[in-house]
Chain A
Amino acid sequence: MSETRLRPALHGKELVLAVIRWILIIFFAVYTLFPLIWLIISSLKTNFEFLAQSPFSLPSKPQWINYKNALTVAGLGRMLLNSVFVGLSATLVNVIIASMSAYCISRFRFKGREKIFTLFTAGILVPLNALMVPYFVIINKLGLYNTYGGMILLYAAIGIPMSTFLIRGLMDSIPMEVEEAAYIDGCGFYGRFFHILLPLSRTGIVTAATFEFLTCWNEFVFANLIVSSEKLRTIQVGIRYFTNQFSTDYVSMYAAIVISIIPSILGYVLFQEQIIAGMTSGAVKG
């Protein structure tokens, strides 16, 4: 192993581990990049090429018209903005409410606490498809049918059990001692929440927020159910513009999907540092 002489030489087991490590890294990279590349290539085909030829061949001539279709015919721009707005608002409302309740459940022993936590846990498991009828009634009765408010409220609400669960999990791992010291120093209920628990549980909050935002972004059933106006439609509704009762214009749909994931990937790449910083700036383990 002469070529590695300058560094501590890898030998035996370590070499094997290094090889395995890189095989895994490359495997996962190919595995996760492939769908995106395939999607982009498919979005440049004609429907004939997509349906009647191998799905893994290249387009004979890139069909940029699919993108034009997606942008002009389906009106994706407005839908993207709606999705971003609804997603961010719902996420914000959601994590605020969830971190407050997580704080109570995690830090205090009060009557009914266990029951409440069981309730939240069961809430995670409720198959939301079963709740179409009650949700439709509730949103209607609140006068929120076909409003941003209705979507934001519903999205924030359906994510509460999951977010509370995630944030509480993190708060539970913060030792009581930290808080007790502050308590002795005269730090009250709110002070401890804002100055100690909230900053320390950032990891959990960011995890919950990411999860909640992705849920909002990918949600379709309720977006279609509680909204009727085109002005309020979100991106998942837009993606389905190219399907109809009998067939799907796959290539235009794929163009729409590519357009719809660009903001999320861009957002993720841009905010990744902040997200990760948020996740890691809490406590240090050890």
Chain B
Amino acid sequence: MKLIRSDRKALYAFMAPALAVMILFFVIPVIYVIVVSFLKWNGISAPALNNLKNYALLMKDKSFSRSVINNIIWALVAGFIQVPLAMVMAIILSRKPKGWKFFRTVYFFPQVISGIALATLWRAIYNAEHGMLNGLLRAIGAGAAAKDWLGTIQTAFPAVLIYWVFYVGYYMVIMMADITTIDTSYYEAATIDGATDFQQAIYITIPLIKKTSLLTCVTLASVMGLRQFEQVYMLTNGQPANTTSTIVLYMYKKMQNANYGIASASAVILIIVGVVFIVCIRKLFEGRGDKPVVAKNVRRAVK
């Protein structure tokens, strides 16, 4: 939209609060973090310039590269498994099966339960001795597969990742709201043409939410995956052998060690990895010349 002169002032006025907040709470603090990332500093003695040494140390540290890889896997699983699952459930529930309102509410519950409770519950489920998962395996005669799920290198990270993938409530609600805005005449026409529910989902629903709520959810979920900290911290504390660590957990431990230089350097790397990731997602969703879909499906907005 063109800007006329009077608009310009208004525009500045509208941007001002957000920009002020961004400068005060993000730009300045992040500059601080970047500066500290070049220092050797324990937070109490005088800091000393450390040049790029912190970054060099990070590159060499296997547990840091493992953390970066874990975060990328986490973001991919969140964006491309968790969100599609949420989408499937959103599509199913928006066809209003019996009790859909109840389910919609119930699916949201885990969002409001404190992370501490979820972590202790899942520790108990994965527990080697009286864990529910092992109990289940023994009950179906697969007792040989029973193990210390969070204490085995091969299973710990998948176990941490998987339990959380099925908590889809938040993304589901966002997509359901979007789906309800789709003009019902589309579905009516498709039903007359004999399209199944499945086909309707593929050809009508998904293309219509792709650029809006689906993109939002994929980005949101990936960001959550990249920033993952609390669940890992409480479930495994990054163990065994640092195989479940994440960047933020790594950073947090370095802060505990009062090694602010390396902690800050890992924060900087997380921001860089994250920006690259988000740009890739946007490219993925915008890239393939399917813009016409949106243009064609111009919303019938206000009457």
Contact = CB atoms under 8 A, between A and B. Distances in A.
A–B contact with Cβ pairs below 8 Å: the answer is yes
Interface of A: 13-14, 17, 21-22, 24-25, 28-29, 31-36, 38-39, 54-56, 97-98, 100-101, 103-104, 107-110, 116, 118-127, 129-135, 138, 154, 156-158, 160-162, 164-166, 169-170, 173-180, 183, 188-190, 193, 196, 199-200, 203-204, 206-207, 210-211, 214, 217-218, 236, 239-240, 250, 253-254, 257, 260-261, 264-265, 268-269, 272, 276, 279-280, 282-286
B29 A286 contact: no
Interface in B212-252: 212-213, 215-216, 219-220, 223, 226-227, 229, 247-248, 251-252
Given A110-B11, A126-B267, A284 B114 contact: no
A34 to B, nearest CB: 8
Contact of B181 (A133, A269, A284): A284
A286 B105 CA distance: 28
B22 A129 contact: no
B177 A280 contact: yes
For the complex of A and B, list the 8 residue pairs with the smallest distance between their C-beta atoms, beginning with the closest: A286-B183, A279-B177, A125-B274, A101-B18, A134-B29, A55-B124, A130-B267, A264-B112
Interface in B129-144: 130, 132, 135
Contacts of A126: 26, 29-30, 267, 271
A203 B112 contact: no
A14 B274 CA distance: 42
Interface residues of B, number: 105
Given A28-B89, A134-B28, A177 B21 contact: no
Contacts of B18: 97-98, 100-101, 160, 164
A35 B251 contact: no
B169 interface: yes
Contacts of B97: 21-22, 25
Interface of B: 1, 3, 6-8, 10-11, 14-15, 17-19, 21-22, 24-30, 32-33, 43, 88-89, 92-93, 97, 101, 103-118, 120-121, 124, 127, 130, 132, 135, 166-170, 173-174, 176-178, 180-183, 185-186, 196-198, 208, 211-213, 215-216, 219-220, 223, 226-227, 229, 247-248, 251-252, 255, 260, 263-264, 267, 270-271, 274-275, 278, 294, 297-302
A284 B26 contact: no
A285 B302 contact: no
A39 B124 CA distance: 12
A166 B113 CA distance: 23
A276 B167 CA distance: 19
B89 A257 contact: no
Contacts of B29: 126, 131, 134-135, 138
Contacts of A97: 17-18, 21
Q: Is the interface of A mostly helix, strand, loop or mixed?
A: helix
B32 A283 contact: no
B223 A285 contact: no
Given A29-B107, A32-B167, A125-B271, A173 B211 contact: yes
A276 B96 CA distance: 14
B117 A254 contact: yes
A46 B215 CA distance: 46
B268 to A, nearest CB: 9
A24 B117 contact: no
Given A24-B89, A54-B130, A189 B11 contact: yes
B196 A13 contact: yes
Contact of A35 (B3, B89, B121): B121
A56 B270 contact: no
B48 to A, nearest CB: 18
A268 B106 contact: no
B255 A29 contact: no
B110 A35 contact: yes
